Amino acid sequence: MSGETTGRAAGVGPDSPLPAPWLKHLPNSLTLLRVLLVPLFVLFHYPIVVDDHTYWAAGWTFTFAAITDFFDGYLARRYHLVTRLGKLLDPIADKVLITAALVMLVEIERAEAWIVVVILGREFAVTGLRALAASEGVVLAAESLGKWKVGAQITAILMLLAHRIWFLPFLPFRPMGTFFLWVAMVLAVVSAVQYGLNYWRSGPPAAR
């Protein structure tokens, strides 16, 4: 959730110490790493020889990528390294990772295709709406429900991947993963409606 800057990073006061040079680029590097892990994650779902090792590798690759999502945001906020480039890259990295994971879960029959279509359709719709609003000089701020949606998506994906790796009767990974996927879908629809209402209430052109 950061980007490259010159001088002091955005939000750092004149008396604030500058972060170490390597730290200044770490959040942005983690974001880029998350994007680079996506092809590797997909590859593990299309191995030449399908076995448990590739399933494990896919699960841990996604887990590590999800962890980078937490740390790049934490470091960017903690050390005041939030920048415009980071704000652009971070949601793109999240969307690429989650889209790849959801599509692969449909491919291996761990997720319902229509639910994934609704979730991904929402992403395209909201992205388009925000671009339209920006062209009119209107900024549609991120909704808090969107953060909960991402959390539900990641939880669902981890549960459904775990179901493929482990079969533990006392831990019903697939039912729990399916539940959180439903939660993610509901939050996706509700947050999309919120974005639409916020855009409509923003006023001209032509009083909507």
Using 50, 70 and 90 to split pLDDT, how confident is the model at 143? Answer: confident
Q: Give the whole-angstrom CA distance, residue 143 versus residue 148.
A: 9
The confidence score (pLDDT) of residue 82 equals 74
In the prediction, which pLDDT does 122 show? 95
Contact 95, 38 (CB under 8 A): no
Lowest mean pLDDT segment, chosen from 18-22, 143-147, 149-153, 202-206: 18-22
Task: Over range 136-149, report the average pLDDT.
Answer: 82
Mean pLDDT for the stretch of residues 141-151:
84
How big is the CA angle at 49 (ends 48 and 55), to the nearest 5 degrees?
105
pLDDT by residue (tens digit) across 10-45? 444 444 454 567 677 788 889 999 999 999 999 887
Q: Which residue has the higher pLDDT, 101 or 15?
A: 101
Report the distance separating Cα 51 and Cα 39, nearest Å.
19
Instruction: State the pLDDT confidence band at 92, using cuts at 50, 70 and 90.
Output: confident
**Rounded Cα gap, residues 7 and 23, in angstroms:** 14
Residue 208 pLDDT: 53
Contact at 8 Å (CB) between 184 and 153?
Answer: yes
**pTM, entire model:** 0.79
Residue 179: pLDDT band with limits 50, 70, 90: very high
